[in-house]
Amino acid sequence: MDDHEVRLSKIDTSAPHPARRYNYFLGGKDNFAADRESGEELARAFPGVRESALANRAALQRIVRYLAAEAGVRQFLDIGTGLPTANNTHEVAQAVAPASRIVYVDNDPLVLTHARALLTSSDEGSTAYIEADIRDPDAILNSAAIRDALDFSQPVAIMLIAVLHFIQDDDAVDAIVRRLADTLPTGSYLAVTHTTWDFLAPEVLAQVRAMTDAGRVDAWARPREKIQGFFAGFDIVEPGVVPTTRWRPDPDTVPYDLRNVAAWAGVGRKR
């Protein structure tokens, strides 16, 4: 088998995967029956899940545009990439600064297969892709692809967009964020979006809690205070840790009901 066939052979289509379910919520076609069934079950309990996914994707694009255009970042480490759609991290960054360098990381072989086919860089910049799990940050940071593509003596933006909530243990998630943050030089940035229950109506919250207790939900919500804690050692940029729709919205940003958005967003600059 070639590398492409090996990666595809590792895909378990019988179990839902967050990246493929997210693709389904965004209206994509790179998902399987298990992903769609999981997504529909979640949507029955939380009808705003599709709006939340769309709001998160739009926030990613605004965050990258801010980092490239206003903060002057030229290096991005996007962990938990998800399946390629329109206006991916490198497309937004390189539209502002063509020489931007981006490394994508995901643990789904299907994501990396599509990434290599679709996420092509500008001539001036570069993109690289590694298959790794955020639960092993050392494997990411010590990857030859990371070290070849990114210069950690210069500012780097680490993008943790809708990925930390797939780690249940609070101590583990804190350790992962600290390990990633510690490798960054001063002037680097950390960007986080994370699902929350802070806005849910009581009846929706009861259903989501029941599904979580039954092991039917693989994302663990956290409150705003916990998200703010990820930015220890960073100066949080305006407007702070806010709902995804309220992070530097564009004039055409859809003002979804916060009960449907159910996610926080924040960006910090390392001191």
pLDDT for 121-172, tens place per residue? 778 889 888 899 999 999 999 999 899 999 999 999 999 999 999 999 999 9
In angstroms, the CA 36 to CA 22 distance is 10
Tokens of 92: 């937004």
From 65, 147, 159, select the one nearest 105 (Cα to Cα): 159
Q: What is the pLDDT of residues 172-188, one digit of tens each?
A: 999 999 999 999 999 99
The confidence score (pLDDT) of residue 6 equals: 43
Give the architecture (CATH level 2) of 3-270.
Answer: 3-Layer(aba) Sandwich (3.40)
- pLDDT for position 107: 86
How far apart, in whole angstroms, are the C-alpha atoms of residue 149 and residue 146?
5
Per the listing, tokens 């926080």 go with 264
- DSSP, collapsed to helix, strand or coil, labels residue 18 as helix
Burial class (CB in 10 A: 0-12, 13-18, 19+), 172: exposed
Q: Where are the domains of the chain?
A: 3-270
Close Cβ partners of 90 (under 8 Å, ≥ 6 residues apart): 76, 100, 102, 104, 119, 121, 125, 127
Going by their DSSP bridges, the two strands 157-161 and 75-79 should be labelled as: parallel
CA distances from 78 to 89, 188, 271 (A): 8, 14, 21
- Percent of the chain scoring above 70 in pLDDT: 92
DSSP assignment string, 226-261: HHHHTTTTEEEPTT-SEEGGGSS--TT-----HHHH
The most confident of the ranges 4-8, 32-36, 99-103 is 99-103
Type of residue found at 194? H
Mean pLDDT of the residues in the chain: 89
Please say whether the beta carbons of 132 and 33 come within 8 A. Answer: no
Ranked by mean pLDDT, which of 45-54, 152-161, 204-213, 251-260 comes out on top? 152-161
Picking from 152, 145, 113, the residue whose alpha carbon sits closest to that of residue 130 is 145
Q: How far apart are CA 7 and CA 139, in angstroms?
A: 18
